[in-house]
Amino acid sequence: MNRKTPRGASQAPLVKRAAARGPLRIRDATDADMPAIHAIYAHHVTHGFGSFEEIPPDLAEMVRRRQDVLVRGLPYLVATDREARVLGFSYASPYRLRTAYRYTVEDSIYVAPEAIGRGIGARLLKVLITRTTKLGYRQMIAVIGDSGNRGSIHVHASQGFRNAAVMRGIGFKLGRWVDSVLMQRPLGPGSGRKPRR
């Protein structure tokens, strides 16, 4: 998740930030949400370190990626305001594809720049944790771009994630070396007992 805007990137106007306040709804994403999801993600790819992509994928690729999540039976969520505007999205995906990792998922969360600081990321993450726990997953991993990304690190810590590792300078983006922070949270009984299947 990317909540930090690097120097030189435009900040969302305060008037937009204030207008985004109000009730929040978390629900499954639909096809109609994809243009807004695409715009949010493109902003973070272009201006931040939450994603290590450097060129935003097009809308068709974002639709394909969502379908890949849904085919696996995993949740893909949006947060909307009272006008049904998409303010953020999150989803779970396999942490790794080797079969021994089948009980572990990775979370991804992105919030619209004008809605950062409203607790939307934490709300999305809480629902994602609940949904993946019900599906029988045992661990959730957060792969956070930039060790200075205090917002994302705080959101994950607030939902029970603990630091697992910091990989120093493994990415180069926006003119500088970027760390990757790994955080981990058990789901349900975690590794406390063997799975039934």
Listed by start position, the domains of the chain span: 14-186
Three-class DSSP category at 92: strand
Query: Strand 104-111 relative to strand 176-186: parallel, antiparallel, unpaired?
Result: unpaired
Burial class of residue 181, CB neighbours in 10 A (0-12, 13-18, 19+): buried
Give pLDDT tens digits for 42-87.
Answer: 999 999 999 999 999 999 999 999 999 999 999 999 999 999 999 9
Task: Select the CATH number that applies to the domain covering 14-186 from these four: 3.90.550.10, 3.90.1170.50, 3.40.630.30, 3.40.50.2000.
Answer: 3.40.630.30
Give pLDDT tens digits for 125-178.
Answer: 999 999 999 999 999 999 999 999 999 999 999 999 999 999 999 999 999 999
Q: pTM for the complete prediction?
A: 0.88
